Structure 1
Amino acid sequence: MSKRIFVSATNTNIGKTYTSTLLVGALSRMGLRVGVYKPIETGVTAIAPDGNTLFQAALSFNPELASLTLNDIVTLQLPLPAAPFIANEGKKIDLSFFDAALAKIEALCDVVIIEGAGGLMVPIDDDRMMIDLPRHFHAVTLLVTHCNLGCINDTLLSINALETAALPYVWGLNCRSEDTDFEIVSLPYFNHRFENIYRIEKDIDAIAKALLDTISSTNEERLCNT
């Protein structure tokens, strides 16, 4: 099994795909063959836009992925732009369907970036939320959060969900040009509460290293508990 990173966010349209493409580059520069996978994408009409962006980014660094197609990268494609539970009409999803697809990608890479849909508490089917996928995949989560007013609340809620579920994670802020008040109204609290504050764009190399370190320590802990 390759190293696995699950990219999630505090909500939709926070920057998961943008972050994942930067992470592809950072991990590739570290000498790793990087693969990408998006188990579920909703709002797909012609092609899966997020999955295609991920695929093209990974292909530019890892030509071995050329043996795959976009359908290999995005397993479940649904036309309605909604939570998977709604877009898939509440049907139960067999996660082994994803495992087979992921195994095909992992044969061509050292590390795979798995991008979720929406935020951590987005319903997949009647039994599972998106937060259940990193545990199923034995992946370390990269939580992407925003820099708008309200980011403190959103970030802490998502971190609390990950910690309550005992899921290993790294988190980073995806600040945009319009987030002009962040340094005044939100950053002081983050500086007070956390030792390390990662910005997605400028700290992506440090984030990549932190994720790999977390994967290593998680694997060591798993071995000690077996």
Structure 2
Amino acid sequence: MSKRIFITATNTNIGKTYTSKLLIEAFVRLGLRVGVYKPIETGVITVAPDGNALFETALIHNPALKALSLNDIVTLQLQLPAAPFVANKGKSIDLAIFDTALAKIEALCDLVIIEGAGGLMVPIDSEIMMIDLARYFNATPLLVTHCNLGCINDTLLSIKALEEAKLPFVVGFNCRVEDTSFETTSLPYLKHRFGSIYRIDNDIDTIAKALLDTISS
């Protein structure tokens, strides 16, 4: 089995795909062959946009992935842009449906980046949440969080969920140009609480190494 990283977030539209693409390049710089997997994507009309973006980026650095198709990269594609439970009309999902696709990807890489959908507590069906998918895959989560006002609350709630699930994890803050108040409204407490934080744009190589260290520990 290859090393597995699970990209999750404090909510939707936080920057999981953006972060995943940067991580692909960071792991490549560390000498690893990287694969990508998006088990579930909602809001798919013709082509799964997030899965396709990941696949195209990974292909640049790992040509062996040409043996696969986008349908191998995104197993469950649902049209409604909503939580999988809603988009799939409440149907039960057997997580074993993801095993074959993941095995095909892992045969072509040293490490696979698995991108979730939405945040940790997004319902997949009536019994399973997105956080359960990370546990099922035995993958180390990277929690991507935002830098808007409210990021302290959102980040700490997601950290609590990961800790209660006994999942080792790394946290990265995706600060955007418009997040001008972060330095004064949120960063002082975050430094007080954690000492320092990782920023996706500046610290992606450090984040990649931290994830590998977390897997190895």
User: What is the TM-score with the length of structure 1 in the denominator?
Assistant: 0.95
Q: Which runs of 5+ in 2 are unaligned?
A: none
Aligned amino acid, residue 63 of structure 1: P
- Find the counterpart in structure 1 of residue 177 from structure 2: 177
- Find the counterpart in structure 1 of residue 133 from structure 2: 133
Tell me the CA shift for residue 99 of structure 1. 1.0
Q: Percent identity?
A: 76
- Find the counterpart in structure 2 of residue 116 from structure 1: 116
Q: Within 1, Cα distance between the matches of 2:164 and 2:112?
A: 25
Aligned amino acid, residue 153 of structure 1: N
Aligned length: 217
Aligned amino acid, residue 53 of structure 1: A
Q: 5 Å matches for 1:44-123? A: 44-123=44-123
- Find the counterpart in structure 2 of residue 220 from structure 1: none
SS in 1 for 2:123: coil
1:122-172: CA deviation from partner (whole Å, max 9, x where unpaired) = 000011000001110000000000000000000000000000110110001
Tell me the CA shift for residue 83 of structure 1. 0.1
Aligned amino acid, residue 197 of structure 1: I
User: What is the TM-score with the length of structure 2 in the denominator?
Assistant: 0.99
Q: Within 1, Cα distance between the matches of 2:49 and 2:191?
A: 35
Q: Within 1, Cα distance between the matches of 2:209 and 2:196?
A: 13
Tell me the CA shift for residue 94 of structure 1. 1.0
What is the root-mean-square deviation in Å for CA atoms of aligned residues? 0.5
- Find the counterpart in structure 2 of residue 142 from structure 1: 142
Tell me the CA shift for residue 196 of structure 1. 3.3
- Find the counterpart in structure 1 of residue 43 from structure 2: 43
Q: Within 1, Cα distance between the matches of 2:7 and 2:40?
A: 13
Q: Within 2, Cα distance between the matches of 1:92 and 1:112?
A: 26
Tell me the CA shift for residue 100 of structure 1. 1.0
- Find the counterpart in structure 1 of residue 154 from structure 2: 154
